[in-house]
Amino acid sequence: MRTTLVAVTTALTIALSPTLGAATAQDTLPPEPSPPAVTAENAETLDEQQDDGQPTTRERAPDTDDCPHLESPATARTTSEAVAPGGRAPVVLPVPEVPAGGPLMASCGVIAPAGFTLPENQTASAWMVFDLDSGEILAAKDPHGRYRPASIIKALIGLIAIEQLDPAQKVTGTWDAANIEGSRVGVGEGGEYTVDELLHGLLLASGNDAAYLLAQELGGDEATLEMVNERAREIGTQDTFVATYSGLDAPGMSTSAYDMALIYQHAWENARFAEIVDTEFVDFPGWGDNEGFQVWNDNGLFMNDPDGIGGKTGYTDDANHTFVGALNREGRRIGAVILDTTIDKGRPWEQARELIDASLVTLPGEGVGQLGQPGEEENTTPTQRPEPSASPAPQAQDGQDTTALDIARVVLPISTIVVLLLAALAWTFGRRRRG
């Protein structure tokens, strides 16, 4: 009898152990430790951890078919996004279940209609080609993938300054502005500038010094960041968080090709913005003993193509090259957004021009999406999109406590073992009586 019981028990335990183990593993196994957060204090020691092996030169565009940047940009190669002691943790944006722009915008690879031929010089991770006037999306790659914008995000502070500040208002240059990190138009401490001159320095030469002075006139850094992010939300962005109004990399900085197309479509509707970015050069004042100088538009598409419409350039070590520009081809105004590209096969403006020209085969109404088209539930809180291959997790019915489900997953297999053991005992004793 004892041999029979042991054999039965062993067999049942082996048979049911996968079920029992699966039911109890989440309660018995310790959680995997999370990697340490990057802070200003440990950033230098985490350089290797931050380097995810992404090359700074490319032979071809990265494969994004598997949506590698659905939730956040790639890990920074530098310590630009280290959180300062006492600083705020990066903002984590929710991933909408249904992305804006139409159903095809949920894809992460190249999205294009029949007849579109992808240019060979293309090395960007994400891009979008769209009609400035109708908002129709003609072609795209990883439209809602999240990347760093660099200086193309300056369009937002530019718009707010145009709307809220008197263009003739005088602003005095400061030491902080003159010595700011990154690209500068060339303001000097004690120099006097109009808001209009600073706007040209901001949008033509990507001056972080001009951005800083405009932000102080708008109420300071924090107030300006709040306004910039609020404007991005009002425009309808889903993937954008502005951590710095100048475009310098900082914790949480994020945008997408779709969002930037939406922002620039909105910006180009502002007559003053459109006029500034369509300017070849302006005279910029000097300061002290320093003479004035000319500030030229750094947008190659506008400066090199007779059909060019001014936009914006951008670059940081972690964002790589970014670009926004447009062409007016025989009355059809087509824009392009380029994110995370290199210059191995061509400058960003050259890549944009080839993408625009390749998209001209798409007739109006035959595009792949629409800027401003909301997701399935426009006014609901976005939730994370599940991966297509993932099986849905067990869900509790309405009003049912998930703890009860966990208990049931453990109790049911044990109950089955007990019932089978009792049946085995009954069979064994009955056999002995008959013998």
Go through 347-385 and write b for each residue having 16 or more CB atoms within 10 A of its CB, e for each that does not: bbbbbbbbbbebbeebeeeebbbbbebebeeeeeeeeeb
Do residues 208 and 314 lie in contact, with contact meaning Cβ atoms separated by under 8 Å?
Answer: no
pLDDT tens profile 272-282: 999 999 999 99
pLDDT-flagged residues of the chain (< 50): 1-54, 376-413, 417-419, 424, 426-435
Active site residue 206: yes
pTM: 0.76
For tokens 């053991």, the residue is 421
Active site residue 256: no
- Bridge partners (DSSP) of residue 283 are 294
Two tokens at 107?
A: 């894809």
Whole-number pLDDT of residue 368: 98
Q: How many whole angstroms separate alpha carbon 158 and alpha carbon 215?
A: 10
Go through 184-207 and write b for each residue having 16 or more CB atoms within 10 A of its CB, e for each that does not: bbbbbeebebbbbbbbbbbbbbbb
pLDDT tens profile 64-93: 999 999 999 999 999 988 888 887 788 889
Do residues 324 and 225 lie in contact, with contact meaning Cβ atoms separated by under 8 Å?
Answer: no
For tokens 């950033």, the residue is 43
Choose the catalytic residue: 72, 80, 107, 206.
206
Do residues 98 and 377 lie in contact, with contact meaning Cβ atoms separated by under 8 Å?
Answer: yes
Choose the catalytic residue: 72, 80, 107, 151.
151
Go through 247-274 and write b for each residue having 16 or more CB atoms within 10 A of its CB, e for each that does not: bbbbbbbbbbbbbbbbbbbbbbeeeebe
Whole-number pLDDT of residue 69: 97
Whole-number pLDDT of residue 202: 98
SS3 34: coil
Interstrand relation of 136-141 and 369-370 (parallel, antiparallel or unpaired): antiparallel
Whole-number pLDDT of residue 62: 97
For tokens 């099986």, the residue is 391
Q: How many whole angstroms separate alpha carbon 138 and alpha carbon 160?
A: 29
Choose the catalytic residue: 141, 154, 312, 345.
154
- The 10 Å Cβ neighbour count of residue 234 is 9
Burial-class residue 333 by CB neighbours within 10 Å (0-12, 13-18, 19+): middle
Whole-number pLDDT of residue 65: 97
Whole-number pLDDT of residue 410: 41
SS3 130: strand
Two tokens at 189?
A: 């401490």
Whole-number pLDDT of residue 106: 96
Closest among 151, 207, 213 to 177, alpha carbons compared: 213
> What is the biggest distance separating any 2 CA atoms in the chain, rounded to whole angstroms?
118
Whole-number pLDDT of residue 89: 82
Two tokens at 101?
A: 């722009």
Whole-number pLDDT of residue 423: 52
Whole-number pLDDT of residue 139: 98
Active site residue 154: yes
Whole-number pLDDT of residue 405: 36
Closest among 305, 354, 426 to 117, alpha carbons compared: 354
Closest among 200, 98, 91, 87 to 154, alpha carbons compared: 200
Q: How many whole angstroms separate alpha carbon 162 and alpha carbon 97?
A: 35
Closest among 132, 153, 167, 159 to 271, alpha carbons compared: 159
User: Is the four-CA dihedral 192, 197, 201, 202 of positive or negative sign?
Assistant: positive
Whole-number pLDDT of residue 390: 31
Whole-number pLDDT of residue 107: 97
